[in-house]
Amino acid sequence: MKINFIGDCVFTNQSEFDEFFTIIKNTDNYKKADIIFANLEAPIVLSEKGKISKFGPHLRASEKIDFRGSDKIVWCLANNHTMDYGRDGLEKCLRILREQNQRYIGVNIPGSEYFFSNTDRSGICVLNVCENEIGCDALDSLTTFDHLKVAKKIIDVKNKNDQLILFIHGGVEHSAVPSAEQKDICLRLMELGADAVIYSHSHKISRTFTRDEKLTCYGLGNFYFKNFGRPATSYLDSVRSSLLLDVNDIRSYQLEYIPIEEDCLDEEMIARELSEIQRIEEDEYEFSAYWSQWINDRFDSMLVHILFPKFFRGSRLLGSSSKFRKIFVHDNAVAHKLNIMTCASLREIYVQALKKYLANEFRE
C-alpha cells in the first residue's frame, strides 16, 4: 500500500478547489498512491456566524465547493483553524463533507474518528493530531496533542496494527528548522512505536529523513494556500512538496516537488537549501545560534505579546478602571495570551526569550 501526504491546503471557493485538484491529480505521487492524506486548513461553513475570539485569521471555505472526483483523499481536520467558527461550524463542515461522501479524520466527537485504520488490508493506522494552537477552541472536539494520551494511543494501536503513522499539525510557524522540543518529541514518539512522524503547520518545507527504519518529516509546507500574505524567503517557499510512503518499506519514500509559478524546477537549489537546514539542525553551535537569532529578530513584538496590554507599570491602576480594561484587555489579547500559555511550540520559544531578557541580553 502506498500513501501520499501533502501539507496545508486552503481553498475558499470552487475555482480554487478546481485548481488545487488539477495540481495534485497531475503529480506522480498522487497517481502512484492508494490513498492521500491532506490537511484541510479552511473549514467549510455557510457563513461567518459563530466566529470565535482568537488571535489570528479566521479561514473559511465555501459550502458550495463540489469535491467530486477527490475520493482518494482523506481530509485531516486536526489543525488550528477547524474550530474557527466553534462547535456549530465544525458540525456544519462535517455534514457537508459527509453529504459528498468525503472521508476525514482528526475530529473527536461522536460519529467521527480521529484516525484512519486499514487493519483488514494492510495493518496501517494514520493518527491525526494537532498541538493546542491559536483557535483550538472547544478542544474536546479535536484530537489535540496530549502527550500522555497520544502515548497510550500509540501503544494500543501498535498492538493491533503493523504500522503507525502520526500526522501532526504543530511546530513553530515560519521556521524550516525544527525546535529542540519538536526534535525530542519525534524521537520519543518513535521510541513508543510510531513508524513515521510527519508535520504540517509551519508553512515551511523542512527535512525528511529515515533513521533506524523510521521516517521523520519536520514540515511539508503549504501545498495550496492562495494569498498566503508572506513573501518568499527561500527557494523552498516557491515549491509545493508531496511525500509518498510505501508501507512495506518506509525507507524508500519519495519526495516530489512541484513549482508554484515557474515551469521548471531547480532541484540543485532545493538540495542546497535542505542541506543547509540539516547543517544548522545537526551542529549544536549553529542550532543554538539560529534560535537565538530567531528570537532576537522577534523579541520586541514577543515581549509586547507577553506583557502588554495588562502587565506593565501602572497597569494595576489602569486595570481598576472598567473603561481602560475594555480598551486594553480585549478578547484578542486574552486569546493570544492563552495561546502562549497552552501551545507547546510557542511556549518553548517565549520561555527562551524571557530567559534571555533576564540575562540582560536585551537590556541597554
- H or E stretch including 36? strand 35-40
Domains in the chain, CATH or no CATH each: 2-266 (3.60.21.10), 284-358 (no CATH)
CA distance 277 to 101: 40
Q: Hey, what's the cell of 63? A: 459550502
Stretches where the chain sits below pLDDT 70 are 55, 110-115, 117-122, 132-145, 228-229, 300-336, 338-339, 344, 361-364
pLDDT for the residue numbered 350: 77
pLDDT for the residue numbered 309: 46
Please state, in angstroms and as integers, the Cα–Cα distance from residue 352 to each residue in 114, 203, 346, following that order: 33, 22, 10
Q: Which residues of 114-138 are buried (b: 16+ CB within 10 A; e: fewer)?
A: bbbbbeeeeebbbbbbbbbbbbbbe
* Amino acid letter, 278: Q
Yes or no: say if 196 and 250 are a contact pair by the CB < 8 Å rule: yes
Helix (H, G, I), strand (E, B) or coil at 307: helix
pLDDT for the residue numbered 312: 45
Sign of CA dihedral 176, 3, 157, 116: positive
> Over the stretch 322-347, which tens digit does the pLDDT of each residue have?
555 555 555 666 666 766 777 767 77
- H or E stretch including 221? none
Yes or no: say if 207 and 277 are a contact pair by the CB < 8 Å rule: yes
Helix (H, G, I), strand (E, B) or coil at 257: strand
Please state, in angstroms and as integers, the Cα–Cα distance from residue 22 to each residue in 15, 19, 26, 175, following that order: 11, 5, 6, 29
> Over the stretch 134-190, which tens digit does the pLDDT of each residue have?
544 444 555 666 777 788 888 888 888 788 999 999 999 899 999 998 999 999 999
